[in-house]
Structure 1
Amino acid sequence: MDNAPRIGVIGAGVVGLTVADILQKNTKAKITVIAETFREDTVSSVAAGIFRPASTFKGPSKEITKKWIHDSWHYWQDILRTPESPKAGIFSFNCYVYSTKSYEATRNRLIEDLVPYYKQMSDDELNIVGGQQKYGSFFSTVKIGCDSYLPWTEKRLKNNGVKIIQEKVESFASIAKKFDLVFNCTGLGARYLCGDEDVIPIRGQIAKVKAPWLKAAFYGDFADTYIIPGIDGLATLGGVRGYDSYNTEFNKHEAAAIFERCYNLLPPLRKAEVLGHRVGLRPHRAVVRVEPELVGDLRVVHCYGHGGYGVTTAPGTALYAVNIGLDLLKTNSKL
Structure 2
Amino acid sequence: MASVCVVGAGVVGLTTATLLQEALPDTASVTLIADKFKKDTTSDGAAGIFRPGLQFQGSSAQVTRQWLRDSYGYFHDISTSEEASTAGVKPISGFILSSKNPSITRNPLLEPLVPEYRMCTDQELQLFDYKYGCYFTTLMTECRRFLPYLTDQFSSRGGRVIERHLESLEQLAGHFDVVCNCTGYGARDLCADLSVTPIRGQVFKVRAPWIKNFMYEDYDTYIVPGFDYVTLGGTRQFDSHSLEIDKYDSMAIWDRCVRLVPSLKDAEVIQEWVGWRPYRPVVRVEKEVMAFDSGKTLKVVHNYGHGGYGVMASPGTSMHAVRLVQEMLDVPRAKL
TM-score (norm 2): 0.95
* Matches of 2:221 and 2:38, distance apart in 1: 26
Aligned to 1:26: 23
Aligned ranges for residues 56-205 of structure 1 at < 5 Å?
A: 56-129=55-128, 132-205=129-202
SS at match of 1:170: coil
CA distance in 2, matches of 1:155, 1:275: 26
Q: Please state if 1:262 is matched with 2:257.
A: yes
Match of 2:304 in 1: 304
Superposition deviation, residue 125 in structure 1: 2.0
Over residues 15-64 of structure 1, what are the superposed CA-to-partner deviations in whole Å (9 max), with x where a residue is unaligned?
A: 00000010001102110000010000000001110000011100010000
Quick one: which of 256, 278, 294 aligns to 2:273?
278
- Displacement of 1:153 in angstroms is 0.6
List structure 1 segments (4+ residues) > 4 angstroms apart after TM superposition. none
Is 2:214 the counterpart of 1:217? yes
Instruction: Confirm or deny that 1:244 pairs with 2:239.
Output: yes
Q: Secondary structure at the match of 1:20?
A: helix
Q: Tell me the equivalent position of 2:324.
A: 324
Deviations 1:145-194 (A, max 9, x none): 11110011101110100001111121111111110000000000000000
Which whole-Å CA distance do the structure 1 matches of 2:2 and 2:279 have between them?
32
Unaligned runs of 5+ in 2: 292-296
| Contact 1:103–1:137 under 8 Å retained in 2 | no
Contact 1:49 1:143 (C-alpha < 8 Å) held by counterparts: yes
Shift of 1:95: 2.2
User: How big is the shift at 1:331?
Assistant: 6.1
Deviation string, structure 1 residues 267-321 (Cα, Å, up to 9, x no partner): 1111111222000000000000000010122110000000000111000000011
Deviation at 1:113, TM superposition (A): 1.1
Q: Deviations over 1:126-162 (max 9, x none)?
A: 2443xx3011011101111111100111011101000
> Is the partner of 1:31 in helix, strand or coil?
strand
Structure 1 unmatched ranges of 5 or more: none
Q: Tell me the distance in 2 between the aligned counterparts of 1:102 and 1:239.
A: 20
Q: How far, CA to CA, are the matches of 2:172 and 2:160 in structure 1? A: 15
Q: 1:126–1:133: 8 Å Cα contact kept in structure 2?
A: yes
Q: AA paired with 2:75?
A: W
The one-letter code matched in structure 2 to 1:323 is R
Q: Secondary structure at the match of 2:169?
A: coil
Is contact 1:176-1:298 (8 Å) kept? yes
